[in-house]
Chains A and B, each alone.
Chain A
Amino acid sequence: MPTPPAGEQDLSRRLHDVEAMLDDVQAMLDAITDYAIVKLDLAGNVARWSRGAQALHGYSADEVLGRPVSTFYTDEDRAAGLADRELATARESGRFEFEGWRVRKDGQRFRAGVVLTPIRDKAGAITSFAKVVRDLTAEYRQAETLRRQRDEIMELSTPVIQVWDKVLTLPVIGTLDSTRAARLTEGLLVKIAETEAEVVIFDISGVPTVDTYVAQHLLRTVRAAALMGTVSIMCGVRPETAQAMVRLGIDLGQLRSRRTLRQALQLALTLLTEHADAAAGDTETIGPAGTG
């Protein structure tokens, strides 16, 4: 049979248990230093601040409690009303996820991965929001570097060089896969439009093997360049490549070839001179003297 002291004892033990549990939860939250864990009230003001949040954002709890979450936003995001949109999305779809720039207390920007979820009471009504923020700056920079390096390698692997007025050279180096081949054609045609080139020299001395695919692709590029009014010259064809291309039955059409880049350039300049002469002849026929 329960006696008042026993009930008090029971109550104080339960209180003790609850306190122990709260301490335990607090200790657990404090131990999470890689994530900022923040509780926001319904209006989006900071209601609870974890040690991880302090470490990431640079503010102590005293400095931010009650302040709007947009304190940590960039000026642009603040001006765009991102905070309200985040809360609205979390309220409607139960979750808001975001990766973007946030600002530390010292003004430094960091790449933040944010997840915002609503906290509900037992009846299911939203009472507040839980926000977990992770610093993704290092990953972001690494991905950036990778992306840039990939682009640079692509650029380097399909360079189009203007060696002379109206003459482009395309040194094809290494194996051509479909991505590189497409990029090569596109890069060349854009450059033709840009420089008004009239002659393109394909130097294939750097291609280890010319199989059907590579040969067909080169010829497609030559044809596309011809549609833009450009004459193509090939150079650096090795004996085994010459044998392979003819055996593969690849029709070279009117594609001219020279042994070295130097000879190809000479031919290119000869062609340009012919073009220039024709243009000069144009003015003669217009002039009063006339030719016939």
Chain B
Amino acid sequence: MSDDVLPVMRIGDTLLVTLQGDLDDAAVIRIEKRLTEEVARTGATGMLIDVSGLSAVDSFVAGVLARVVAMIRLLGAHAALVGIQPPVAIALVELGVPMGHLDTALNAKQGLALLQRLRRNDARAD
């Protein structure tokens, strides 16, 4: 996966990134670099990571996703995973991959609503 096939779309304050194909170590480093830079550059307060195009979501990929989410959070933005398909959800739970701390939504639309709720909770806390 190279930079030009890592589409990042901007919707208001939110970035929507679509991950596709297989993730290898080199791809992971490129993704981490690109996404953190995009958040910093745009000042986005939220990011949706669409995983429906990934060929497999196993414990390795789940770990990668958790790391990306942690990086985005360190930059002061919220991140949520969208597009987890039924078989992937079942596999992740069967494998016992801990995903409970990650925010997830069915699709981009619900993801946007979820990010909005998270921002709102921030506002209340402030």
Let me know if B94 and A278 touch, CB within 8 A: no
Q: How far is the CA of A190 from the CA of B86 in the complex (A)?
A: 6
Please tell me if the beta carbons of A224 and B82 are within 8 angstroms of each other in the complex.
Answer: no
B33 within 8 A of A: no
A202 to chain B, nearest CB (A): 15
Q: B52-94 toward A: CB 8 Å interface, digit per residue (1/0)?
A: 0000000000000000000000000000011011101110111
B contacts with A, residue count (CB < 8 A): 27
Q: Which B residues are in CB contact (< 8 Å) with A190?
A: 86
**Nearest chain-A residue to B83 (Cβ)?**
A228
Query: Within 8 Å of chain A (Cβ to Cβ): is B40?
Result: no
Choose, from A98-106, A170-178, A191-199, the stretch at the interface: A191-199
| A-contact bits for B37-55, CB 8 A (1 contact / 0 none) | 0000000000000000000
Q: Select from chain B the residue with minimum beta-carbon distance to A221.
A: B93
Does the CB pair A229–B99 fall under 8 Å? no
A279 to B111, CA, bound (A): 10
| A54, CB-defined interface residue at 8 Å | no
Q: How large is the interface on A (under 10, 10 to 19, 20 to 34, 35 or more residues)?
A: 20 to 34
Q: Shortest distance in angstroms between A199's beta carbon and chain B's nearest beta carbon?
A: 12
Bound form: Cα–Cα A152–B93 in Å: 28
Q: Are B93 and A220 in contact (CB under 8 A)?
A: yes
Kindly state whether residue B9 has any CB partner on chain A within 8 Å.
no
CB distance from B125 to the nearest CB of A (A): 15
A196 to B116 Cα, complex, angstroms? 18
Residue A230, interface by CB 8 Å: yes
Excluding A186-B86, A278-B117, 8 further A-B contacts by CB distance (< 8 Å) are A192-B106, A196-B106, A198-B106, A220-B94, A223-B99, A224-B92, A227-B104, A279-B113
A-B contact pairs, 11 of them (CB 8 A): A185-B90, A186-B86, A223-B93, A223-B99, A224-B89, A224-B90, A227-B89, A228-B89, A228-B106, A229-B110, A278-B116
